[in-house]
Amino acid sequence: MASRLIQVQSKACEASKFVAKHGTSYYRQLLEKNKHYIQEPATVDKCQELSKQLLYTRLASIPGRCETFRKEVDYAKNLWKNRTDLKVEDAGVAALFGLECFAWYCAGEIIGRGFTFTGYYP
């Protein structure tokens, strides 16, 4: 077990050195490739305009998201109606999904409590 830990530490050290050596060049290359997305000059007015565009774009996407949600609910209802045809694999995937949702809920609760397991701070 200790040898495995040493291997992981050496790999992490190599990755850190690689990022330190090539990180800035990758950052510059990424900015150069996507410079047409950068707004110049970055003024407060421009930032407010972009935030409003993002907000209204998200609001405009709500009907499509609602339709997708309805389709998912109809699919789940159909699965429930035909549960006798349900395969074990499908039930296993559903159980794992539920378990993952519960795990994310527990993680959120722990983070919300300030990384404590026993209770909230006064």
Q: Kindly report, residue by residue over 36-78, the tens digit of the pLDDT.
A: 888 888 889 988 999 999 999 999 999 999 999 999 999 989 9
Length of the chain: 122
Q: What is the largest CA-CA distance in the chain?
A: 62
Q: Looking up tokens 């150069």, which residue turns up? A: 32
Residue-by-residue DSSP string for 28-83: HHHHHHTGGGS-SS--HHHHHHHHHHHHHHHHHTHHHHHHHHHHHHHHHHHHHHTG
Mean of the per-residue pLDDT values of the chain: 88
User: For the whole model, what pTM was predicted?
Assistant: 0.48
Q: Looking up tokens 């003024």, which residue turns up? A: 43
How high is the pLDDT of residue 22? 79
